[in-house]
Amino acid sequence: MAVEVFNRVERKYLLEEDVYEKLKKRLEEKMEVDSYNRGEKFYSIMNIYYDTPSDELIRNSLEHPVYKEKLRLRSYGVPQMEDLVFLEIKKKFGGIVNKRRTSLLLSEAYEYLHNGKMPMESCYSNQQVLREIDAFLKRYCLLPKVFLAYDRMAFFGREDKAFRVTFDTNLRTRREEVRLEKGMGGIQLLEEGIWLMEVKIMGAAPLWFTHLLSEYQIYPVSFSKYGTEYKRYLLQQNVLKGEEKLCLKQLLHQPMEQHYRLVQQY
């Protein structure tokens, strides 16, 4: 049965190219590279984020509430209509991330999300997860709002398989043709040479890893891919005013030495 359930803590860090290269070499000594990354290859992740007409979900998320939730459709690489994709509901409460997902054919996912047709029970889907997602859809009127893709390098702990470190680059988004089968093209979300590192753990990170973060002076940031895209979208639409607009421009364009302070501020 194609279902995955995650309960974990996720921490995010923004790295410059030289720090990424140094850290990656150190991780290769302690961790296992994802099988899809063998030979220094990246794998591509594509997402559609669903939201209300008034962007209620992302606006609530940016307020940093105790509880928040979102729905996305995900594929690995560009899918065709009869390929399997993942429909995911992701919740965060008190810093703990809970993600539940199930597989659907891309055609089934579109029929369900866009036309309300519940997928038939199958060997690759999970009806319990679909019922949870269905309750979510009944609470909100959702539309496909944003396409977001990136290339990933991932590592897993050799002893603790739940300890995972991922590096994302080439983040790109679009608000036109928000469909997975339309390809990976889009507008770059971050400046060239900036990497997003995510650390995913069930409990505490290994001591050797915390020493690496200290050695390279790597500090966590509050960063959301969809949230950053939404802020950029607001800036382009010219709906922000005064100090709020200036702060966002700084966040999106300042060099890394100022980025940590600004991303926490905004």
- What is the SS3 assignment for 37-52? HCCCCCEEEEEEEEEC
- Which distant-in-sequence residues (6+ apart) come within 8 Å of 121 by Cβ? 127
Which residues are registered as beta bridge partners of 219? none
pTM of the model: 0.87
Convert the pLDDT of each residue in 31-77 to its tens digit. Answer: 999 988 887 789 999 999 999 999 999 999 998 899 999 999 999 99
Sign of the C-alpha dihedral computed for residues 55, 56, 57 and 61 taken in this order: positive
Quote the CA–CA distance of 24 and 167 in Å, as a whole number: 9
End-to-end CA distance of the chain: 42
Minimal CA–CA distance to 138: which of 120, 162, 113, 159? 113
Which amino acid would we find at residue 161?
K
Question: Considering only 2-16, 78-92, 100-114, 187-201, which range has the smallest mean pLDDT?
Answer: 2-16
Q: How far is CA 89 from CA 75, 132, 143, 236, 239, in A?
A: 14, 8, 15, 29, 29
Please state the rounded mean pLDDT for residues 116-131.
90
Which residue matches tokens 């409990």? 203
> DSSP secondary-structure letter at 180?
G
- pLDDT, tens digit, 9 for 90 and up, residues 128-165: 999 999 999 999 999 999 999 999 999 999 888 889 99
Confidence of residue 2 (pLDDT cuts 50, 70, 90): very low
Residue 46's nearest CA partner among 171, 200, 154, 145 is 171
Q: What is the token pair recorded at 9?
A: 């803590």
Residues pairing with 167 in the sheet: 153, 197
Residue found under tokens 């509901």: 89
Phi-psi region of 14 (alpha: psi -120 to 50; beta: other; left: phi over 0): beta
The C-alpha atoms of residue 252 and residue 247 are separated, in whole angstroms, by 9
